Amino acid sequence: MTAIFGSGDYTYSLLEGWAKWPEEWLLGDVAAVGVDRNDRVYAFHRGDHPMVVFDSDGNVLRSWGDGVFKRAHGIHMGPDDAIYLTDEGNHTVRKCTLDGKVLLTIGIPGDAAPFMSGEPFRRCTHTALSPNNEIYVSDGYGNARIHKYTQDGKRIKSWGEPGSAPGQFNLPHNISCDEDGWVYVADRENHRIQVFDGNGRFETQWHDLHRPSGMYMPPGKCPVCYVGEIGPYYEFNRGAPNLGPRLSILSNEGKLLARITTTPAAGTGPGQFISPHGIAVDSRGDLYVGEVSYTAWASNFPDQPKPTRIRSLQKFERLRAEDR
């Protein structure tokens, strides 16, 4: 029997074993996932060949990025068939063609800004584009800042500081921008998504989230927001229900529309998650979830040895009303 997840308009069946990469490769932590206009899937991961490109059936088409990227973290698919890749380990954002040619590098490879200095970058996490094609960068591990750049890499402005008040951050882990120019920041360790105008003015915040990590908003007017939430890691609440890891689907005003969650929470079973870190949706509404399973294993299962291979990419096929 096919496993079904979600609810209402956001009901999915899981396609187990969807990604079919060569047996001799290791598909490591899939930190980010992107989908192009032809529904090719880009898995930015921490293993053999950093970028692996699949067709919609899960067959590998090509790979690239060897020797370029140090530690994969974020993907943003541009409207001009460019892909923006955030390298947390190398403190850079690179704009590339879909076959891996580097067009622009923002940041100095290997040169981290001082801890909590507010200067770019210290382990930057993700990128998003404004309606005017400006580049937003969330920054990240060891910083608490959002930076805004022109397309030629000139910094326009930055905002944010450490803290939990509106406009402050405790690990800005992901960022999206909608057609109207609103900027959405997954403020992970403050358990919220903050919403700003294009100049960094705080507008509102969404709660009812637990450590929002992955985030994706499709193009278009009033898009929904897909959020990957990671679960608790401490001994006293590890495995507690209703805290994740899970995937939530929200309206563009933060209203919960559906959730993919299972009990027990963390695991490698059908539809379970270890640490949903990267999310993308294709043209028919199918959902791709990348996980940093290897990195998060010890936090979720401290008494279990880490397997040699752990699933780190899942595909959920969206069901039509007549198929539910």
Instruction: Write down the pLDDT at residue 222.
Output: 83
Q: Which domain holds residue 8?
A: 4-323
Is residue 235 scored above 90 in pLDDT?
no
Is residue 286 scored above 70 in pLDDT?
yes
Average pLDDT over residues 167-171: 98
pTM across the whole model: 0.96
Q: How many whole angstroms separate alpha carbon 227 and alpha carbon 201? A: 22
Sign of CA dihedral 117, 171, 152, 65: positive
Average pLDDT over residues 55-60: 96
Model confidence at 323, in pLDDT bands (50, 70, 90)? Answer: confident
Tens of pLDDT, residue by residue over 88-123, are 999 999 999 999 999 999 999 999 999 999 999 999
DSSP string, 292-311: -HHHHHHHH-TTSPPPSS--
CATH number of 10's domain: 2.120.10.30
Beta bridge pairs of residue 248: 227, 259
**Cβ partners under 8 Å of residue 128, min gap 6:** 76, 135, 136, 175, 176, 177, 183
Indicate the number of domains in the chain.
1
- Looking at residue 162, its amino acid is P
What H or E segment, with its residue span, contains residue 4? Answer: strand 4-7
Q: How many whole angstroms separate alpha carbon 71 and alpha carbon 54? A: 20
Instruction: Write down the pLDDT at residue 239.
Output: 85
Tens of pLDDT, residue by residue over 147-164, are 999 999 999 999 999 999
10-14 and 29-35 strand pairing: unpaired
